[in-house]
Amino acid sequence: MTKFDPLDMHNYRIEKLPKREKSNIEKWLAISGPILALVVFILFAFVVKLPFLESVNPSELVSESAKKAFAKIGAEAFTRNNEFMLAVFAASIILWMTQAIPNYLTSLMLIITLVLTGVLTEKTAYAQLGHPVMWLNIMSFVLASMLVTTGLAKRFALWLIIRFGKNASTIFITFIVINLVLSAFISATTAKAAILLPIFMVIAAIYGAKRDGQKNNFGRSIVLQNLLNINIGAGAFVTGSGANLLAAAIIGGAIGGNIFFSDWMVAMLPVMVSLMFVGYLVAMKIFFPLKPEERFPQIEGGMERLKEEYAKLGKLNIQEIKSAIIFIVILGFWATDSIHGISATAVAFIGAIIALLPKFGIVKWNEVDIPWHLMLFSAGAYTLGAGLDETDLPSISVNALFNYLGIGNETHFWVLYMVLTAAMLFSALLFQSKTMRAMIFIPITIGIANRFGFDIISLALPVAFLIEHVYVLPFNSKPAALLYETDQYSLADTFKFGITMMIISWIFIIIAGETWFRYLGITPNGVFGIF
């Protein structure tokens, strides 16, 4: 039997990590999910008649698509469509949450159900696979594959660690920089985790972290800080994840305009960088302070192994140089999209075409890693969004709820701001899918903004900024599940660090709303009136 080498990066590849067994609760949810989803669908579609759906006032509809549908099919058919929409929405959420069946299969089922019930036409439902955001996702995976195939991503990360990771403190700070740079180019947090995992696991071993339950604070801190930074780094850019892009598309559709890459980056990059450094301090000073012996390498020649790994990459080759040029040019066009008006999707298209060109390109099609199951899942989420727009169900439901609670239109903006941002942020404790949270909370926020007469951007965009906070529990995101398998930290470790950062993030978004976002024109005058 070959002895385990803690400094061999190949030992930390995703496929070599142990697979976590489902807990009893997860097994029970998987069994009960389909039954519960079917019951809920039947109840909402055929049994329960909700008064607020049967008395829709067309003058209160917000969506232009819903107004046209009401005028075309009449009140009775419009009500039936809303009942079916609610039934499909509720059943889909249950299946997605319980993971009773694969997420992509749930998406396929909801697409065909919305067609068969008449909520959407076949053309509208099937066309969501060609949504501009879908194409941006596909092209981004082509570009990310180029970054990985050429070895440029690994070279960049190793060079930074070798060049600047002189001690424990600088190593953590260097990973903050690495995460930020990769987040600007790679729209999949799981892909970033796969790139960085072998590197920070080798470093953890160098500083004394071991397998078989022998944890130390260096290991806890480097894995949990990277989990935090992989996710919130994505929140600094609209292209950081498909969920960000979906939220921007929904908001853009509601305002009849675009949420530009530059708009999102200017607003959130300073906030996310600040949170990364706060996370570093919280981990190192409060929860996982390093013992004196953990501040220095425990394995002799450990950093030399990283240098050897870097040396294996050889000299910077022409393919890597071409990759770097393409990415820098793409980022430049993305960052200036509000000036030239070329969409992020069009820019990514051109970059992917250049990368795939025969002879002159960088990557071959069979080397491109596109997770089509995620694409189908996203297509289902976009179709669900099209159905919500066609029926205007979020606005109708919001109006009915506030009328039932007797809440008038005098509610202060900042009360809504704090409640909605908290709802989006802390919902990450329950939901696995960022896309699903975007599909639920962004339309609701838009409906609330319309009801109270506030600018949609002022509420919906700050809510969208919080999509990426999915790092508290192992099931909250794929990177969280992946990094939990490293066995470098316990459930209690990730919860206490994660929930603390989540609360701090909420405080940050409130302060940003009163200061930075107000300066940028996102939010109206501050509640204190002193800025």
Q: What is the pLDDT of residue 530?
A: 31
Same domain? For 353 and 218 the reply is yes
How many residues appear in the chain? 531
Do the domain assignments include residue 432?
no
Q: What is the pLDDT of residue 214?
A: 66
Q: Which residue has the higher pLDDT, 337 or 475?
A: 337
Q: Which residue has the higher pLDDT, 14 or 407?
A: 407
Residues 125, 115 contacting (CB under 8 angstroms): yes
> Does position 247 have pLDDT exceeding 50, yes or no?
yes
> Does position 190 have pLDDT exceeding 90, yes or no?
no
Model confidence at 529, pLDDT cuts 50, 70, 90, reads very low
Do the domain assignments include residue 320?
yes
Q: What is the pLDDT of residue 158?
A: 81
Mean pLDDT value across the chain: 84
Same domain? For 115 and 200 the reply is no
Model's pTM, two decimal places?
0.79
Structural domain boundaries, residue 307 = 133-367
Q: What is the pLDDT of residue 499?
A: 96
Output the CA torsion sign for 143, 146, 147, 152. negative
> Does position 531 have pLDDT exceeding 50, yes or no?
no
> Does position 527 have pLDDT exceeding 50, yes or no?
no
Q: Which residue has the higher pLDDT, 55 or 124?
A: 124
Same domain? For 80 and 151 the reply is no
Do the domain assignments include residue 448?
no
Measure the CA–CA gap between 37 and 29, rounded to whole angstroms: 11
Same domain? For 100 and 202 the reply is no
Model confidence at 444, pLDDT cuts 50, 70, 90, reads confident
Same domain? For 351 and 255 the reply is yes
What total of structural domains would you count in the chain? Answer: 2
Same domain? For 174 and 36 the reply is no
Same domain? For 80 and 145 the reply is no
Among residues 356, 377, 398, which one ends one of the domains? Answer: 377
| Mean pLDDT calculated for residue range 421-441 | 84
> Does position 17 have pLDDT exceeding 60, yes or no?
no
Largest CA distance in the chain: 77
> Does position 369 have pLDDT exceeding 80, yes or no?
no
Do the domain assignments include residue 220?
yes
Numbers of helices and strands, H then E, in the chain: 24, 0
Same domain? For 147 and 253 the reply is yes
b vs e for 164-197, b when ≥16 Cβ sit within 10 Å of the residue's Cβ? ebeebeebbebbbebbbbbbbbbbbbbbbbbbbb
Residues 75, 56 contacting (CB under 8 angstroms): yes
Same domain? For 223 and 123 the reply is no
Q: Give Cβ neighbours of residue 41 (< 8 Å, ≥ 6 apart).
A: 87, 88, 90, 91
Same domain? For 214 and 73 the reply is no
> Does position 213 have pLDDT exceeding 60, yes or no?
no
Q: Give CA torsion, residues 184, 190, 192, 194, to 10 deg.
A: -170
Measure the CA–CA gap between 477 and 486, rounded to whole angstroms: 15
Do the domain assignments include residue 418?
no
134-143, 406-415, 505-514: range with highest mean pLDDT: 505-514
Output the CA torsion sign for 412, 470, 490, 169. negative
Model confidence at 526, pLDDT cuts 50, 70, 90, reads very low
Among residues 348, 377, 406, which one ends one of the domains? Answer: 377
Among residues 346, 367, 388, which one ends one of the domains? Answer: 367
Pick from 205-209, 295-299, 326-330, 383-387: least confident: 295-299
Q: What is the pLDDT of residue 232?
A: 93
Measure the CA–CA gap between 488 and 425, rounded to whole angstroms: 26
Do the domain assignments include residue 489?
no
> Does position 415 have pLDDT exceeding 70, yes or no?
yes
Give the number of other CB atoms < 10 A from CB of residue 309: 18
pLDDT tens track for 70-104: 999 999 999 999 999 999 989 988 887 777 888 88
> Does position 313 have pLDDT exceeding 80, yes or no?
yes
Structure tokens at 403: 């009328």
Tell which residue, 116, 38, 106, has the closest CA to residue 80: 116
Same domain? For 116 and 140 the reply is no
Do the domain assignments include residue 215?
yes
Do the domain assignments include residue 143?
yes
Same domain? For 114 and 151 the reply is no
